[in-house]
């Protein structure tokens, strides 16, 4: 199985085995309910998730007291890649974007790999790194031209001011 990190369990919440959960992407939290997740070396079913913002309160099946919950604090929560529902065309999960190689659309020049995603509210910003170089690539239609998950690459259009070597 291919396990994807969804976030991390923090401290316990109450006495009935609930835990505080900090997701990597808050939009993925709704996908957890009823799913089997891996926490450390064990697989558990997510019984419930509540809250509007991080930290969310998570209840895992079989974790019914504070002592059991304490054993899980600080551990990553992983989900099976196959359990993620397909998204509409043009939408992607965070784990699908991170790791893509980035190329420009004019010369096919490689720029690096997407290592992080910064949500800004209006659009995400992809952090592209290549050695000591780092660029911020806004996920907007005029910049990102195509994403090919099968080939593992993102093609973008260089616009003025996007890179330090582009005249402003």
User: Over the chain, what HEC string results?
Assistant: CCEEEEEEEEEEECCCCEEEEEECCHHHHHHCCCCEEEECCEEEEEEEEECCCCCEEEEECCCCCHHHHHCCCCCEEEEEHHHCCCCCCCCCCHHHHCCCEEEECCCCCEEEEEEEEEECCCCEEEEEEECCEEEEEECCCCCEEEEECCCCEEEECCCCCCCCCCCC
**Architecture (CATH level 2) of domain 94-156:** Roll (2.30)
Residue with structure tokens 């998950």? Answer: 149
Domain extents in the chain: 3-82, 94-156
Give dist(CA 85, CA 99) in Å, integer. 20
Distance between terminal CA atoms of the chain?
A: 47
User: The pTM is what?
Assistant: 0.74
Average pLDDT of each block of 10 consecutive residues along the chain (168 residues)?
89 96 86 90 95 93 96 95 86 91 91 92 91 91 93 91 57
pLDDT at res. 166: 43
Architecture of the domain defined by 3-82:
Beta Barrel (2.40)
What is the rounded distance in angstroms from the CA atom of residue 27 to the CA atom of residue 6?
A: 10
């Amino acid at each position: 199985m291919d396990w994807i990190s969804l976030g991390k369990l923090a401290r316990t919440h109450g006495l009935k085995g609930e835990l505080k959960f900090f997701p990597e992407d808050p939009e993925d939290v709704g996908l957890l309910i009823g799913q089997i997740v891996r926490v450390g070396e064990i697989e558990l079913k997510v019984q419930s998730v509540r809250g509007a913002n991080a930290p969310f309160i998570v209840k895992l099946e079989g974790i019914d007291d504070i002592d059991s919950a304490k054993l899980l604090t600080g551990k990553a929560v992983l989900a099976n890649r196959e359990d993620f529902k397909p998204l509409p065309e043009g939408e992607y999960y965070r784990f699908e974007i991170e790791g893509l190689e980035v190329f420009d659309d004019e010369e096919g020049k490689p720029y690096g790999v997407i290592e992080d995603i910064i949500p800004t509210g209006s659009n995400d910003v992809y952090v592209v790194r290549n050695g000591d170089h780092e660029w911020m690539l806004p996920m907007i239609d005029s910049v990102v031209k195509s994403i090919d998950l099968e080939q593992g690459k993102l093609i973008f259009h260089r616009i003025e001011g996007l890179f330090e070597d582009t005249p402003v």
